[in-house]
Amino acid sequence: MSGDLLNLQTGLIYGPINSRRLGSSLGINLLPTTYKACPFNCAYCQYGFTSAKGYTTQSDGSDMPDIESVTATLDEALEEYPSVAYITFSGNGEPTLHPEFGRTVDEVKKSRDKLAPEAKVAILCNSSLVFKDEVREALARLDVRIMKLDAGDEGTFRRFSRPHKNVKFEAVVAGLKRLDDIIIQALFAGGEAGNYNDFSIEKWIEKIGEIRPNECHIYSIDRPSADGKLTLIDRAGLLKIKEKAEKQVGVTVKVY
């Protein structure tokens, strides 16, 4: 797949967007607005390749918003959109890279309680930092945790998710096992760097059986990606993964 990549979010709060899975969702971008900050460099990333500057497992937060800015901007948006269904941490990379992610979660929940009490506070997280206790503790305080796991083995993880050297596959899996009430999301794509092959799928299903999430959401690429040679998996291909996983490990898999 090739074509234009997505532009980075230019602000701290964006939307509400009508998300495929969450419905009406106000996004929170805790990441820099001039570059992607992410411990992964996924072959399919809609923002293109992770640059050396943003490819890290920790940040001093110097290019990231402080908590006061987050709450002030969020409060303004919630006053305008009090009936959003979700307030979702996502944005230009991995939200848990923010050095004060835990405190930010608590303040965002206070804003939610005050201005949009029906909304759930969610995260789209790539799971790269779940090996850190403080990250897992903050994630546990959210209402909804949608955690990425595109690979079930080290080789596919290195080839497809392309993590920073400090991110170890088994530590990610161990961290996910220690989190309750999670949804795993996984993107499947074909091509040389892809994860749509018998071995990768088999290993992914095995890990899902070990992690035992509430459910899995699977999908394929729907827009240009960093590695233009990845190929789309059609619905029939995704349904095969669903059937196999549900039969083998008894975890509900939804195809998007």
Binding site for ligand SF4 (CB under 6 A): 36, 38, 40-42, 45, 47, 50, 93-94, 126
Nearer to ligand SF4, 146 or 205 (CB): 146
Q: Is 135 exposed, middle or buried (0-12, 13-18, 19+ CB in 10 A)?
A: buried
Nearer to ligand SF4, 93 or 213 (CB): 93
Min separation Cβ 42 and ligand SF4, Å:
3
Min separation Cβ 155 and ligand SF4, Å:
17
With CA atoms as reference, report the closest residue to 152 among 220, 203, 118, 186: 203
- Distance separating alpha carbons of residues 145 and 28, to the nearest angstrom: 15
Nearer to ligand SF4, 104 or 185 (CB): 185
Nearer to ligand SF4, 47 or 196 (CB): 47
Min separation Cβ 83 and ligand SF4, Å:
28
With CA atoms as reference, report the closest residue to 34 among 66, 73, 64, 60: 64
Residues sharing a CB contact under 8 Å with residue 186, sequence separation 6 or more, in sequence order: 148, 149, 150, 204, 216, 217, 218, 219
Given the structure tokens 């760097």, which residue do they identify? 193
Q: Classify the C-alpha dihedral 109-114-115-116 as positive or negative.
A: positive
Min separation Cβ 50 and ligand SF4, Å:
6
Nearer to ligand SF4, 35 or 40 (CB): 40
- Distance separating alpha carbons of residues 221 and 232, to the nearest angstrom: 6
Min separation Cβ 228 and ligand SF4, Å:
15
